[in-house]
């Protein structure tokens, strides 16, 4: 009976983590769409730097309140993480500019097999046949409802490759660092957010000028633009925290696969609030197929042998207590 209660508690925490991530991620996409499309703030890299500034402030407040315990992250690991993270952010922005929307979406889908390969190579993870097939169904479903025109050029392809692999390494590293150094989400964010905030605010204005031909310091803020910018920064705290919680509890692959629920929700909300242009039977069938694939993946990966780690990553003997997400349980 106690084991049943323990599994029920884990299921509730898992569902809460996913709900938190999906809600904040969809929310920030809708807010950023209004900020950029309606009010013309097109400085995506600088905006991400501001997101990490507010996230840094959150970690400082939590540490001051005693809700986050002191921890250590070696400087070489921090530098590698920040490089992967910033390359991911800049790479995705450049890829979107230099490629067609269709090829950009294909590149995003490639993050799932890239993450799978990293887990197989570094963690010796074995996937069952059903787990592999469910991932394929999700990829096909999302491709059907998002990929339209596909054109590629040399520099766009390079940007896409950098974006895909840097994102895969960044998400793998979130899980790796939490396991290796017994860091919970608050601890890891406390180490990485300040470094990302400083580096992105340093290079962000130059990257944005390269991509848009506009200077962020010349942007004329209206009161509504400032409101949406502030709202975006506050929601970003939840996005960054929930990403670390989800990847820490599950894995980068599960985060990518089940994370495509956000793609389906964004499409649905976009059609609901911004008009039904582009909504057709193909899009609807693609969304249904993607959701069915996610449900199948959740069931297949949870079964014995569905996804097994065949080598255990050594972790520190000392544990940081006080945060529920550090008790990962069975990995999905």
Tokens of 188: 């890891």
pTM: 0.80
Residue 227 has a pLDDT of 95
Instruction: Give the integer Cα–Cα distance in Å for 332 and 328.
Output: 10
The answer to whether residue 316 is domain-embedded is: no
In a domain, 249, yes or no: yes
Residue 54's pLDDT is what?
96
- Assigned domain for 179 exists: yes
Give pLDDT, residue 276. 59
Residue 323 lies in a domain: no
Rounded distance, CA 328 to CA 11, Å? 11
Kind of pairing, strands 307-309 and 125-127?
antiparallel
Q: Is residue 265 part of a domain?
A: yes
Q: How far apart are the first and last CA of the chain?
A: 23
- The whole-number pLDDT of residue 275 equals 62
Q: What is the model's pLDDT at position 319? A: 45
Domain that holds residue 234: 14-309
DSSP, collapsed to helix, strand or coil, labels residue 320 as coil
Q: Answer yes or no: is 9 within a domain.
A: no
User: Which H or E run includes 221?
Assistant: none
Report yes or no: 87 and 120 within 8 Å, Cβ to Cβ.
Answer: no
Identify the residue whose tokens are 């690991």. Answer: 77
Burial class from Cβ neighbours inside 10 Å (0-12, 13-18, 19+) for residue 234 reads middle
**Long-range contact pairs involving 268-276 (C-beta distance under 8 Å, separation at least 24):** 269/26, 269/30, 270/33, 273/30, 274/33
The full DSSP string for 258-315 is: HHHHHHHHHHHHHHHHH--TT--HHHHHHHHHHHHHHHHHHHHHHSTTTEEESSPPP-
Report the distance separating Cα 216 and Cα 206, nearest Å.
Answer: 9
Q: Among 254, 219, 255, 253, which residue's Cα sits nearest to residue 239?
A: 255
All residue ranges of the chain with pLDDT < 70 are: 1-4, 7, 148-150, 270-271, 273-279, 309-332
Tell me the HSE value of 188 on the side-chain side, using a 13 A CA sphere.
29
Check residue 273 and give its pLDDT.
66
Q: What is the pLDDT of residue 24?
A: 92
The pLDDT, as a whole number, for residue 324 is 39
**Predicted local confidence at residue 310, as pLDDT:** 63
Sign of CA dihedral 63, 68, 70, 73: negative
Residue 300: CB atoms within 10 Å: 20
Whole-number Å distance between alpha carbons of 32 and 34: 5
Angle at 307 between CA 144 and CA 15, to 5 degrees: 70
Please count the structural domains in the chain. 1
CA-based Rg of the chain, rounded to a whole angstrom? 20
Answer yes or no: are the C-beta atoms of 249 and 17 closer than 8 Å: yes
In a domain, 302, yes or no: yes
Phi, psi dihedrals of residue 127, rounded to the nearest 5°: -105, 135
What integer pLDDT is reported at residue 93 of this predicted model?
A: 85
pLDDT, residue 327, reads 43
pLDDT 10s digits, 23-81: 998 889 889 988 988 898 989 999 999 999 999 999 999 888 887 788 899 999 999 99
């Amino acid at each position: 009976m106690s084991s049943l209660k323990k599994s029920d508690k884990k299921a509730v925490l898992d569902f809460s983590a996913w709900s938190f991530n999906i809600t904040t991620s969809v929310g920030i996409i809708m807010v950023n769409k209004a900020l950029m499309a309606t009010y013309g703030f097109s400085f995506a890299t600088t905006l991400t730097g501001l997101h990490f500034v507010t996230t840094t402030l959150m970690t400082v407040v939590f540490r001051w309140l005693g809700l986050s315990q002191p921890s250590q992250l070696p400087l070489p690991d921090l530098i590698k993480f920040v490089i992967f993270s910033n390359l991911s952010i800049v790479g995705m922005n450049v890829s979107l500019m230099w490629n067609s929307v269709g090829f950009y979406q294909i590149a995003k889908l490639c993050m799932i097999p890239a993450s799978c390969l990293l887990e197989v190579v570094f963690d010796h993870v074995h996937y069952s046949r059903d787990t592999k097939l469910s991932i394929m169904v999700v990829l096909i479903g999302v491709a059907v409802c998002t990929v339209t025109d596909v054109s590629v050029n040399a520099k766009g392809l390079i940007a896409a490759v950098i974006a895909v692999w840097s994102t895969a390494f960044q998400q793998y590293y979130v899980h790796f660092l939490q396991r290796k150094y017994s860091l919970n989400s608050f601890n890891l964010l406390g180490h990485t957010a300040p470094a990302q905030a400083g580096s992105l605010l340093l290079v962000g204005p130059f990257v944005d000028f390269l991509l848009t031909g506009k200077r962020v310091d010349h942007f004329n803020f209206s009161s509504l633009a400032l409101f949406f910018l502030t709202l975006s920064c506050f929601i970003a705290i939840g996005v960054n925290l929930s990403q670390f919680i989800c990847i820490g509890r599950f894995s980068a692959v599960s985060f990518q696969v089940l994370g495509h629920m956000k793609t389906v929700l964004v499409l649905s909300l976009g059609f609901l609030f911004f008009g039904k242009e582009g909504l057709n039977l193909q899009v609807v069938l693609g969304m249904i197929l993607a959701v069915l694939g996610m449900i199948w993946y959740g069931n297949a990966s949870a079964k014995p042998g569905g996804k097994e780690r065949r080598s255990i990553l050594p972790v520190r003997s000392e544990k940081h207590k006080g945060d529920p997400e550090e008790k990962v349980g069975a990995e999905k």
